[in-house]
Amino acid sequence: MEKKKKLDAKEGQRLLHQMILIRRFEEKSAEEYTKSKIRGFLHLYVGEEAVAVGVIQALTEEDNVLSTYREHGHALARGVDPKAIMAEMYGKLEGCSKGRGGSMHLFDATKNFFGGNAIVSGHLPIAVGMALAAKKQKKNKVTCCFFGDGAAAEGEFHESMNLSALWQVPVLFVCENNLYAMGTAIRFTHSVQQLEKKGPAYGIESAAVDGMDLLAVMEAAEKAVKMIRETGKPYYLVCNTYRFRAHSMFDAELYREKSEVEEWKKKDPIPKFQDFLLKENLISAGQIAEIETAVEEEIRKAIAFGEDGTWEETGDLTRFVYSETQSI
């Protein structure tokens, strides 16, 4: 409510731009995958844009962000250069991880963006540790950690929640509940499927929000971040969302009905937010078209950048297995 009033045109347009950028970037990535320009596993974020954009806008540049292998959206929302991301997926030295990581391992230390983690739930303890460091260093720094519904079944979820609450560290756990872990529906992975109900078992302030609604996510995230900054304690936010596309490019989607996907597409966060902006006169149809054009151009540049990138020399294969300098 209050939020909606606060949102000004410029900010609204910026957020819409981000969501559209993510959407188009993902669509383009899929295309590049079928052209074999991108290889390995490719997990797209289409449908879930409101979560990354809504949460990350609530953070400052000093805050840390960690994500999974489905992290293009988070990286883009965090401001990692789309060119560097595309080059990364092209496997080029100009990529944000020097081409070593690919789609699943985007890193950008300058943006406090810490991956890009492909072991499900493996980054939760790391997030707790980064938040612990911030506390020890007396830095005003929230660590925000995105993960999926599937991840919440892993033991590391339990350990991380407990540690963060015990130690009272400033971490925001964001569970992106898209109802599936690969092809396994949440009813086969969680005995209690309202995942926000896991929070109280650790005494962690928890909430669930409609992850298809950018404004709702923004409001929930801002509330969460505010509480974290005020109390130094963890917060657990479940964003209920849906991925419109397959789990990865290897997925035949045998496990869900097309009609279910269609039903969810009606809740697409982008038209919803667009309509809101239009209705509130925060944007014009022309401005939307401009955003689309600008995004198209950004993506064109990203592809070109990836294409033009350089392959790492094979002789450099073992660089950075260990550090090249002894003092850090």
Does 156 engage in binding with a copy of itself (CB under 8 A)? Answer: yes
Does 129 engage in binding with other proteins (CB under 8 A)? Answer: yes
Does 27 engage in binding with other proteins (CB under 8 A)? Answer: no
Q: Annotate 183-214 with b (16+ C-beta within 10 A) or e (fewer).
A: eeebeebbeeeebbebbeebebbbbbbbbbbb
Among 15, 38, 131, 165, binds a copy of itself (CB under 8 A): 165
Interface residues with Mg ion (CB under 5 A)?
148-149, 178, 181
Does 15 engage in binding with a copy of itself (CB under 8 A)? Answer: no
As measured in angstroms, the least distance from the Cβ of 298 to ligand TPP is 24
Amino acid symbol at 35? K
3-class secondary structure, 179: coil
Non-local CB neighbours of 12 within 8 Å, separated by 6+ positions: 277, 280, 282, 283
Among 178, 240, 241, 274, binds ligand TPP (CB under 6 A): 178
How far apart are the C-alpha atoms of 172 and 222, rounded to whole Å? 11
The C-alpha angle with vertex 192 and arms to 187 and 194, in degrees rounded to 5, equals: 95
Interface map 193-232 toward ligand TPP (x if CB under 6 A): ----------------------------------------
**C-alpha separations of 238 from 207, 241, 248, 311 in Å:** 6, 9, 22, 40
Are 181 and 251 a contacting pair, CB within 8 Å? Answer: no
Site stretch for other proteins (CB under 8 A), options 37-45, 234-242, 280-288, 292-300: 37-45
Site stretch for ligand TPP (CB under 6 A), options 6-14, 178-186, 205-213, 312-320: 178-186
Which residues of this chain interact with a copy of itself, rule CB under 8 A?
A: 153-159, 161-162, 165-166, 188-192, 197-198, 200-204
